[in-house]
Every structure is written in C-alpha cells, then in structure tokens.
C-alpha cells in the first residue's frame, strides 16, 4: 500500500513496467518513485535517484552515411556543451531542416526540459509505449518478454526516453526530444500517448470564431 490519497490528479500518476525488475510507480505531485519488485513479497523500495542525475552531454550521433554534413558540423561545434541552449537548437533545427528526421546530435540534459528542482521532480510523469496485438511477440520461459520503452517529461518543452538500470536503481535519460515551439502545448498525461514510433499529443484549441474565449478546450 502506498501513502494515503492526497491528490485527485489521477492521470498524473505514473505506472510503468520494468520487466523482471518489477513495476515503477510515482504519485502525482510527489517526487519519490517506488519500485515494486517481483519477488515473493513484491518488495517496495523508494528510488529517489530515478529523478534527476541525468548526464549532461551533447554528443554527435549521426555519423557516416546517416549524417548530414551541415548538421554534423553544427553539432560538433557545440559538442563541448559550452552552450547547452545551442546544442538543443542544433537538434531542433536538424529535425526540421537539413537532415529531416535524422538527428545530428543527442543532447541529454535535464535542464533543457525544465529544472530538476523539487517542483520539477514532483511534476515528472512517466509513460510507457502501448502494446500492439499485431506486433507483440509472445515468448516462452526462460525467455523474457521485451519491456516497452519508457518516456517521461517534466514540462511541455521536451520529453525524455528513459532507461532503467537495476544496479544503480536509476531511470536515466538516454535521449531527449525537444517539442518544437509551434507544437508546444501543455502535456497533460491524459493527452499524451506514446506508440512504437510516434507520440501523440492532444492539443487544446480555441474554437471561437468571433468571440475570444479565455478557456481552452481539448
């Protein structure tokens, strides 16, 4: 049993599978993440390190035939992480301009998606890629089924791809995808869905044709 109910923001709760290492759960508006192991007692443990501790790197990832010269050069120019904002700008630009969907850099830096202060940690939300009956591969013991990818975000600026590691009990951001400014909307958990290759964000719109409204509807 987790602590008493203190919030009605159910959709902001996070519940994801960690494979043989159990399930991770995070309450809304609270920073602590709990892991329920799949042992005899389903032991619960708190792993506050799951939030934060992201490495700050700006690495060149598109090389060889997958790279685009202009993007590669731009990435190399900021790979020293002297200017994190510039690194993000390169990735965003590469995704839309020269290289299309191929990114020249992988930028992992928590601050680019907000801050890692207490408020940001409390707002952190995890979601997992939904399974598809048409593509799910059934396995038999001792082979273990695959764990769907886990994503998360702290605000509407970007979302992370997370990797779980039992040895360090950390969920580490291994990739970050900035949300382009023109698509940037409040990423309410109930309005975001991750699939195998795409993410859907239900955006609020103001449908008023003549009279300005102050309330946005989804």
Partner 1 sequence: MDVSWKDTGGTLQSAKGTRHAAAWAATTQVAPAYKGKQRGVFGSYLVVNKDASVMEFWGYKAGTAEWALLFTTTAVAELQLLGSHEYYYWPGRSMLLARLGDGASFRFWRFAADFQTIAAATNEGPLVEKRITQTDLALLQVNGRIAVPPVFWGDYAAFYCTDENQATLVREGWIRIYKYSTQMY
| Site residues, partner 1 (CB under 8 A) | 1-5, 10-11, 13-19, 23, 25, 27, 34, 36, 38, 42, 44, 128, 130-136, 138, 144-145, 147
Nearer to partner 1, 44 or 89 (CB): 44
- The distance of closest approach from Cβ of residue 48 to partner 1 in the complex, given in angstroms and rounded to an integer, is 18
- The distance of closest approach from Cβ of residue 157 to partner 1 in the complex, given in angstroms and rounded to an integer, is 24
Nearer to partner 1, 101 or 143 (CB): 143
Nearer to partner 1, 141 or 217 (CB): 141
- Within 8 A by CB and 6+ apart from 1, the residues are none
- The distance of closest approach from Cβ of residue 12 to partner 1 in the complex, given in angstroms and rounded to an integer, is 9
Q: Specify burial of residue 16 (Cβ count, 10 A radius: 0-12, 13-18, 19+).
A: buried
Could you tell me if 170 and 49 are in contact, meaning their C-beta atoms sit under 8 angstroms apart? Answer: yes
- The distance of closest approach from Cβ of residue 133 to partner 1 in the complex, given in angstroms and rounded to an integer, is 5
Nearer to partner 1, 43 or 206 (CB): 43
Count Cβ neighbours within 10 Å for each residue of 191-217 and write b for 16 or more, e otherwise. ebebeeeeeebeeeeeeeeeeeeeeee
Could you tell me if 162 and 171 are in contact, meaning their C-beta atoms sit under 8 angstroms apart? Answer: yes
């Amino acid at each position: 049993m987790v602590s008493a109910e203190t919030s009605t923001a159910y959709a902001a709760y996070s519940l994801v599978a960690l494979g043989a290492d159990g399930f991770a759960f995070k309450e809304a508006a609270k920073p602590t993440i709990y892991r329920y192991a799949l042992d005899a007692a389903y032991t619960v443990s708190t792993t506050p390190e799951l939030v934060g501790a992201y490495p700050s790197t700006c690495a060149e990832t598109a090389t060889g035939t997958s790279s685009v010269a202009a993007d590669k050069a731009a990435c190399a120019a900021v790979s020293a992480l002297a200017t994190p904002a510039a690194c993000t700008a390169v990735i965003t630009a590469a995704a839309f301009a020269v290289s299309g969907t191929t990114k020249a850099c992988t930028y992992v830096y928590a601050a680019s998606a907000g801050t890692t202060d207490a408020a940001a940690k409390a707002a952190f939300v995890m979601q997992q890629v939904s399974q598809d009956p048409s593509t799910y591969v059934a396995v038999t013991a001792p082979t273990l089924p695959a764990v769907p990818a886990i994503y998360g975000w702290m605000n509407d600026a970007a979302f992370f791809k997370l990797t779980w590691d039992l040895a360090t009990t950390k969920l580490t951001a291994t990739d970050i995808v900035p949300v382009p400014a023109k698509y940037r909307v409040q990423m309410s958990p109930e309005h975001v869905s991750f699939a195998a290759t795409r993410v859907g964000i239900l955006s609020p719109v103001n449908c008023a044709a003549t009279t300005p409204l102050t309330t946005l509807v989804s």
